[in-house]
Amino acid sequence: MKQSRKIVESDWFLKIVSLLIAFTMWAFISGQKTPKIIEKNFTAPIYFENTSEDIILTRDVLYEITVQLRGPETIIKKIKPEDIYITIDLKNKKFGMHSIPLTENLVHKPSGVSVVNIIPNTVQFKIERKITRIIPVKANIVGELPDNLEVKKVILSPPIVRVQGPQSVLEKIQYFNTEVIDVSNKMQSFKTTTVVLLNSNFLKLLSKPNINVNIIIGEKDRVKLYRKVRITLANVGKHTVWVNPKHLAVQVKGGEKFVNKVVRKNIKVFIDCKNLKPKEKDYVLTPQIDYIGPNSEEIKNNVKFSTIPSLVNVRVFK
C-alpha cells in the first residue's frame, strides 16, 4: 500500500514538472513570435540617378534627410547607415525648378521595417545647364600707402581662370577677386601668392587655385595742366584746312621729377592732314602730341600726355 502511494506521488511530481517545462517553452516561443517593436531615426543620403555631364543641380539642394523607421527591435538594431538611402531619377527631367515628394517607395531599406516619417518630405532643386568659361581675375588690394607713393601696376599670373558651373551664374560674372592683399605701409614693390575666391558652392575651379601677384609701387603721379596750347596742322598740301577749337589744354601726368622737367614750348600738338580729303562734313579726330626738346625720350617714357578735349573737328575745303 505504501509502495503504490509512492508511485502515485511520483507520477504527480513528474506531471507537474512536465507542465512547468511545457509552460516555459510556450512562453519562450510566444515571446519569439511577438518581438518588441521600436522606432528609430536614420540619416539617409539622397542619390540622383541618370544625371549627365551637361547639367548641374542648384538652389541649395539637400543631399541628406532624416528617415524614421518602425519595425522589430532585432532588425532595427542591425541596420547600418549604408542600408538606408533615397534615389531620385532625373531621367526625362527638363531644365528648371522641380519639387519631388519623398515617399516610402523612394526609400531603400531592409525588409521587415516600414517608414513612419521623412523629414523634410519634399526636395526642391533646379536643373541648369553646366558650362565652362574663362574669366579674368582681379587683385583685391586694400590698405593705404605713404602719401608720396601709389600702386602703379598690378601683374597677375595667370590673369585668368577656367571655371565650371551653372550657366545662369557664370554668364553674370565679369571677374573673380583674389583674397585680400594688404599694401599698408609698403615702401617698395613686392610679390606675393594668393588664391581666387569663387564665392559659390555651385562653381568649380578647373585651373590651379594659386595666383602670383606682382605689385609695382612707385612715386605718386603729379598732374600738371597747360592751357591754350595751339594746334598746328601738318601736311596740309594744297587744300584749305580748318580746325575747331584752335587751342586746347594739355594734361601732363607722371612722376614729379619728370613732370617738372616738362617745358611748355616743347609740347607740340598737331593734326596730320596727309590723308584727309575735302568733304562736306567735319572729320572728328584725336590730336597727336609730341615732345621735342632736352631729355625728350626720358620724358616721353615716363610722362603721359593727353588733350582736353580729346577730340576736335577738322574741315577740309577744296
By three-state DSSP, how is residue 198 classified? Answer: coil
Backbone angles phi, psi at 20, to 5 degrees: -65, -40
pLDDT at position 92, please? Answer: 84
Residue of 274, 273, 267, 309 whose CA lies nearest to 289: 267
Query: How does residue 11 score in pLDDT terms, banded at 50, 70 and 90?
Result: low
Query: How does residue 24 score in pLDDT terms, banded at 50, 70 and 90?
Result: low
By three-state DSSP, how is residue 231 classified? Answer: strand
Q: Where is 46: in which H helix or E strand?
A: strand 37-49
Decide the pairing of beta strands 107-108 and 149-157. Answer: unpaired
Q: What is the mean pLDDT of residues 76-83?
A: 89
pLDDT at position 316, please? Answer: 95
The label of the residue with cell 588664391 reads 195
Span 136-152, pLDDT tens digits: 999 999 999 988 888 98
The pLDDT of residue 128 is above 80:
yes
The Cα–Cα gap between 211 and 233 comes to 49
The Cα–Cα gap between 232 and 300 comes to 20
Query: How does residue 190 score in pLDDT terms, banded at 50, 70 and 90?
Result: very high
The pLDDT of residue 273 is above 90:
yes
Q: What is the mean pLDDT of residues 278-296?
A: 94
Quote the mean pLDDT of the chain.
Answer: 89
Span 35-72, pLDDT tens digits: 789 999 999 999 988 888 888 888 767 788 899 999 99
Domains in the chain, ordered, with CATH? 39-128 (2.170.120.30), 130-219 (2.170.120.40), 221-317 (2.170.120.30)
Span 92-108, pLDDT tens digits: 888 889 998 998 989 99
Q: What is the mean pLDDT of residues 153-178?
A: 94
Contact 249, 306 (CB under 8 A): no
pLDDT at position 15, please? Answer: 66
The label of the residue with cell 540622383 reads 48
By three-state DSSP, how is residue 306 classified? Answer: strand
Strand partners, 176: 137
pLDDT at position 55, please? Answer: 87
Contact 311, 286 (CB under 8 A): yes
Percent of the chain with pLDDT over 90: 58
Q: What share of the chain is helix, strand, coil (3-state, %, to 5)?
A: 20, 50, 30
pLDDT at position 23, please? Answer: 62
Q: What CA–CA distances, in Å, run from 282 to 74, 159, 240, 276, 286?
A: 96, 42, 13, 11, 13
The pLDDT of residue 192 is above 70:
yes
Query: How does residue 199 score in pLDDT terms, banded at 50, 70 and 90?
Result: confident
**Residues near 96 by Cβ (< 8 Å), separated by ≥ 6?**
126, 127
Question: Angle at CA 288, nearest 5°, toward 287 and 289?
Answer: 120
Query: How does residue 247 score in pLDDT terms, banded at 50, 70 and 90?
Result: very high
Percent of the chain with pLDDT over 70: 90
Residue of 154, 93, 99, 138 whose CA lies nearest to 121: 99
The Cα–Cα gap between 308 and 251 comes to 7
Query: How does residue 30 score in pLDDT terms, banded at 50, 70 and 90?
Result: low
The pLDDT of residue 22 is above 70:
no
The Cα–Cα gap between 139 and 178 comes to 5
Residues in the chain: 318
DSSP classification of residue 52 = -
pLDDT at position 28, please? Answer: 59
Query: How does residue 318 score in pLDDT terms, banded at 50, 70 and 90?
Result: confident
pLDDT at position 159, please? Answer: 97
By three-state DSSP, how is residue 184 classified? Answer: coil
Of the two residues 152 and 249, the one the predictor is more confident about is 249
> What pTM did the predictor assign?
0.58
